[in-house]
């Protein structure tokens, strides 16, 4: 399943994104401007082989000059048995991630060379999961 948010403000709560074999693009793509809140939501890579890895759970590609806000609360990203092909990339002007759970080696990357401000509070991390800011 792929969802692309196009609104200036979006609220996603209590969803399960099950990224299947060979998903091209992110399970959730968030807009370049505005505010996106994701709460109590799970992203799972559901594949049967390494060659079928879905691209990534969440992607936000934005210009550092744009005013954007991403809030993640109670979000779980699970690599499943064979993982994601790429790390999830978040690069809004401000990112707040609270109670973030990264399972089975998930990588999360905050971009824009230090322009992104905010905080990450990982709740659980397994399998060598990494957060790069």
Concatenate the DSSP letters of all residues of 101-122 into one string: EEESS-EEEE-TTTT-EEEEEE
What gap in Å lies between CA 68 and CA 31, rounded to an integer? 8
- pTM for the full model? 0.86
> Model confidence over 72-104: pLDDT tens digits?
999 999 999 998 888 876 666 688 899 999 999
Name the most confidently modeled range: 5-19, 54-68, 110-124: 5-19
pLDDT score of 62 more than 80: no
Higher-confidence position of 70 and 114: 70
Whole-Å CA distances, 133 to 10, 37, 72, 101, 118? 24, 20, 16, 16, 10
């Amino acid at each position: 399943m792929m969802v692309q948010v196009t609104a200036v403000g979006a609220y996603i709560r209590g969803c399960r994104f099950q990224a299947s074999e060979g998903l091209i693009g992110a399970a959730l793509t968030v807009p370049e401007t505005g505010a996106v809140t994701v709460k109590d939501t799970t992203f799972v890579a559901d594949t049967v082989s390494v060659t079928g890895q879905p691209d990534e759970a969440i992607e936000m590609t934005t210009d550092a000059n744009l005013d954007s806000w991403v809030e993640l609360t109670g979000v779980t990203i699970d690599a499943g048995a064979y993982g994601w092909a790429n790390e999830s990339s978040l690069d809004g002007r401000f990112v707040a991630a609270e109670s973030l759970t990264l399972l089975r080696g998930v990588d999360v990357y905050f971009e824009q060379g230090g322009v992104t401000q905010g905080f990450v509070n990982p709740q659980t991390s397994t399998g060598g999961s990494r957060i790069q800011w």
